[in-house]
Chain A
Amino acid sequence: EVQLVESGGGLVQPGRSLKLSCVASGFTFSNYGMNWIRQAPGKGLEWVAYISSGSSYIYYAETVKGRFTISRDNAKNTLYLQMTSLRSEDTALYYCARRTGRARDWYFDFWGPGTMVTVSS
């Protein structure tokens, strides 16, 4: 059974940093591209970042480019999101999501339950 479990969320002050993790199980993690997607309270979904299976390709939303860094450790089946210079508008539930295995697809076939990040003084 595919499982994705995020952790690392919490309350952080504006301007500070936080690192999220997502541990994957039930599939060959190193074969799949992975994403971070967030959902602000009461709002819709916003794609944040993508990393390819071997970390060769990395993309970011403009709203986080230069502040967030996505990475992965295939030996540990773990996806990361390093967040710096956090702003109140970064407050959201952060999901990790697996990209489907088909080469041209940009869909998300499995999602974790999310970890909440609250940026507030």
Chain B
Amino acid sequence: DIQMTQSPASLSASLEEIVTITCQASQDIGNWLAWYKQKPGKSLQLLINDATSLADGVPSKFRGSRSGTQYSLKISRLQDEDFGSYYCQQAHSNPLTFGSGTKLEIK
């Protein structure tokens, strides 16, 4: 199985700040990577697919990038609605696997 190592596990940031979350794949997955946001009491939301493409309706403050087998999610100008948990997911091969998550909290 492909392991997705996500960091940091938790992150405290202020409004308007910029933060970056990373995922390291255990093997080459190309651009087959997605990022999701989870807010308490709400359904998960697809933010980015194919490592860098914004999903429908997702604002451009979210930006995905790739360097080899390391993937990053950058969130600019943090607002209240951005706080929650974020997960990466590899879509390269079965079984589909997720990172362990990053909990983003308000400082």
Contacts and interface: CB of A to CB of B under 8 A. Distances in A.
Interface of A: 4, 44-47, 59, 61-62, 95, 97, 100, 105-114
Given A105-B49, A107-B34, A47 B97 contact: yes
A105 B99 CA distance: 18
A26 B34 CA distance: 23
Contacts, number: 52
Contacts of B99: 44
Nearest to A114: B43
Interface of B: 32, 34, 36, 41-46, 49, 55-56, 87, 89, 91, 94-101
B89 A111 contact: no
A59 B100 contact: no
Contacts of B98: 44-47
Contacts of B91: 105-107
A105 B30 CA distance: 13
A106 B96 contact: yes
Contacts of A45: 87, 89, 98, 101
12 contacts: A44-B99, A44-B101, A46-B98, A47-B96, A47-B97, A61-B95, A62-B95, A100-B46, A107-B91, A108-B34, A110-B46, A112-B43
